[in-house]
Structure 1
Amino acid sequence: MSQEQQLRIDLAAAFRLIHELDMHESVANHLSAAVSADGKSFLMNRRWMHFANVTASNLQLLNSEDESIMQTDEAPDASAWAIHGNVHKAFPQARVILHVHSTYATALSTLKDPRILPLDNNTARFFNRIAYDTNFGGIATSDEEGKRIMDTFEGKKALMMGNHGVSVVGETVAEAFESLYYLEKACKTMVLAYSTGQPLNVLPDDLAEETAASWDEFKGAGDAHFEQLKAMLEKKDPSFRD
């Protein structure tokens, strides 16, 4: 099996799993994965394709430097083109980009202070490892807005998009999926903790940093998690491989 075909299968699986976890939104939101070394050639879901219907073969192969696609019937969603095209082109090391409006992450993004505070293992995972964009400019359909969002990543692997949602990047689909999985759990913890109305017991910075760094020791867990979820998906509905 070619590398591109395996990438197509893994990315299609991520779409289905995000749907299973109810982290999708109508026929919006987008996931992409770079095919070329320079990141300019990438796979992404087609315009208005529901996550539950994405398969390995119907993922669209795009080139961020070929804007002529936007004047055709095959044009991808304009906001996805603006965000994913710019990030892949500028950061070729960001092999996979997942952008969703998941419930708890989006709720946290609407707060005046959208920070994920280190309260436990999961929230501490993102200490000093997530960027924050608090300059929401509406639906990102322009190249300028896409570049502005790209710049706010600041070399981090996750971005809290104020009044919008979240994006994560990773070297593999499994790595990016695991980051998104824990990011939504961390945001859920934040929202539920805030809902109690009681003072938060925030970890000191040194302990938060130590906890965040310790997650590197469990890096292989993300691959194991994704492979087992993918195996469960295969038993339930293997059509994502088509």
Structure 2
Amino acid sequence: MNVTTKTEIQQLVSTEEWQLRVDLAALYRLAVLYGWSDLIFTHISVRLPGPENHFLINPYGLLFDEITASSLVKVDMNCNKVIDSPYAVNPAGFTIHSAIHEVREDIQCVVHTHTRAGVAVAAQKGGLLPISQQSTFVWSSLAYHDYEGVAVRDDEKARLQADLGMANHLILRNHGLLTCGKTVGDAFLSMYGLETACQVQLAAQSGGTELIHVAQPVLDGVAEAAKITLKGGGSFIWPALLRKLDRIDLSYKD
């Protein structure tokens, strides 16, 4: 029997898991508000606490503004559903997210997007350029992964894991953007910074004049300053973002 209602799910999961479901559903709704969604074709996932290596991912077929806490699909590392659900899981989304959750026990949330700005920068040979303050915050924790086609092959996992390493920002060349965070709020903030840096880069390039690159010593200094400036940034901003959502639509909590 498929379990789909809020009451049914809450009876089966811990209080901690339910809160993570609410936070993840909120992030899906925020992705719509900030223009990060791509119909049903990208994914945000959350690792659940415990030794079982379970995580939550979006139900394939729902738009991001339809996703609720109870509709999220709970799966194991082999893409087996842990709780019955009427929804499928996108194999490409599972491949990318399970690869990262498998080796990055320090992170809880993974965000992957196909935004116009993100894909445009991912298609540029030079990648993200150090031309804005936003890019300097990303620079010290940025990695790249070459495009290998739709991510449905298990053998790509090892290369994806090696390319990401311990970085929290990943540009998937010709594909899009990906960020990791120790919390849902941290992952959101990392994607906000990376996406904004890409938008600024395209805007600057459209001016048609020579761009000023931030010097390496300054980049190094910003990296150190970012550890102080952004420390706890996700947890600091997340309650404000939830209040924003609550003013718009409370249904993500269902």
Distance in 1 (CA, whole Å) between partners of 2:137 and 2:202 is 16
Structure-1 residue corresponding to 2:6: none
Query: 1:112 aligns to what SS in structure 2?
Result: coil
Tell me if the contact between 2:130 and 2:136 (Cα under 8 Å) persists in the aligned partners.
Answer: yes
- In structure 2, the residue matched to 1:63 is 76
- Counterpart mapping for 1:184-203 below 5 A: 184-203=195-214
TM-score by length of 1: 0.92
**1:241 aligns to 2:241 (yes or no):** no
1:214 aligned to 192, 215, 225, which one?
225
Q: Distance in 2 between matches of 1:29 and 1:39?
A: 25
Question: Does structure 2 retain, via aligned residues, the 8 Å contact 1:40–1:85?
Answer: no
Segments of 5+ residues of structure 2 without an aligned counterpart are: 1-13
**AA of the residue aligned to 1:221:** G
CA contact (8 A) 1:34 1:95 kept: yes
Matched, 1:167 2:182: no
1:24 aligns with 2:37: yes
1:1-242 aligned within 5 A: 2-38=15-51, 40-65=53-78, 67=80, 74-114=87-127, 116-133=128-145, 135-218=146-229, 219-242=231-254
> How many residues were matched structurally?
238
CA distance in 2 between counterparts of 1:192 and 1:94 reads 32
Separation in 2, partners of 1:214, 1:188:
23
Kindly provide the CA deviation profile for residues 94-137 of structure 1, in whole angstroms up to 9, marking residues without a partner as x. 211001112211110011221x222232110012310012x211
User: Kindly tell me: are residues 170 and 38 of structure 1, through their superposed partners in 2, closer, same or farther at Cα, counting changes over 3 Å?
Assistant: farther
Q: Does the aligned pair in 1 maintain the 2:61–2:87 contact within 8 Å?
A: no
Q: Which runs of 5 or more residues in structure 1 are unaligned?
A: none
Structure 1 Cα separation of the partners of residues 142 and 244 of structure 2: 30
Among all aligned residue pairs of Structure 1 and Structure 2, give the percentage whose two residues are the same amino acid: 27
Alignment-mate amino acid for residue 20 of structure 2 = L
> What amino acid is aligned across from residue 144 of structure 1 in structure 2?
D
| Distance in 2 of aligned mates of 1:202 and 1:193 | 12
Give the conservation status (yes or no) of the 8 Å contact 1:39–1:95.
no
| Deviation for aligned residue 1:89 | 1.4
Task: Give the distance between the partners of 2:52 and 2:207, measured in 1 at CA.
Answer: 44
RMSD: 1.9
Mapped partners of 1:221, 1:149: distance in 2 = 27
- Structure 1: how far apart are the matches of 2:112 and 2:65? 16
- Cα distance in structure 2, aligned partners of 1:207 and 1:167: 25
- Give the TM-score taking structure 2 as reference length: 0.88
The answer on whether the counterparts of 1:45 and 1:54 sit within 8 Å (CA) in structure 2 is yes
| TM-fit CA distance, 1:10 | 0.7
Cα distance in 1, alignment partners of residues 202 and 34 from structure 2:
18
Query: For 2:204 and 2:50, how far apart are their aligned partners in 1?
Result: 42
User: CA contact under 8 A between 1:157 and 1:168: conserved in structure 2?
Assistant: yes
